[in-house]
Amino acid sequence: MTDRHTNGRVQALPALAAVAALLALPGAALAARTDVVILKNGDHITGEIKKLDSGRLEYKTDDMDNVYIEWDGIRHVTSVNRFEVVDTRGIRRWGSLGRTEAPEELVVMTSVGADTLDLLSVVRLTRIKDTFLRRLKGSVSAGFSYTRATDTAEGTLEGQTNYRGERYKGGLSYSMYITQQSGDRTSRYSFGFKAGRFLKRRWTIGGNIGLEHNEELALDKRASITGTGSRVIFETIKTMIEVSVGVSGTRETYIGSDSTSYNIELPLAFDYSRYVWHHPKSKVIFSTSFYPNLTTEGRYRASVNLDLVHEIYKDLHFVIGFYFDYDSRPPEDAAKDDYRLTTSLRYTFG
pLDDT tens across 178-218, in order?
999 887 889 999 999 999 999 877 899 999 999 999 998 99
pLDDT of res. 97: 93
- pLDDT (average), residues 7-35: 46
Q: Is the pLDDT of residue 251 over 80?
A: yes
Instruction: Count CB atoms within 10 A of the CB of residue 199.
Output: 14
The residue that leads in pLDDT, 227 or 49, is 227
pLDDT of res. 306: 96
The residue that leads in pLDDT, 37 or 350, is 37
65 torsion bin: left (phi>0), alpha (psi -120 to 50), beta (else): left
The residue that leads in pLDDT, 109 or 17, is 109
Of the pLDDT bands very low, low, confident and very high (cuts 50, 70, 90), residue 77 is very high
State pTM to two decimals.
0.77
- pLDDT (average), residues 19-43: 61
- pLDDT (average), residues 145-165: 90
pLDDT of res. 13: 41
pLDDT of res. 229: 96
pLDDT of res. 323: 93
- pLDDT (average), residues 134-159: 90
pLDDT of res. 111: 81
pLDDT tens across 91-139, in order?
888 899 998 888 888 999 988 888 899 998 999 898 888 788 888 999 9
Cis check: omega of the bond before 280, within 30 degrees of 0: yes
Of the pLDDT bands very low, low, confident and very high (cuts 50, 70, 90), residue 5 is very low
Of the pLDDT bands very low, low, confident and very high (cuts 50, 70, 90), residue 76 is very high
- pLDDT (average), residues 77-102: 89
The residue that leads in pLDDT, 336 or 61, is 336
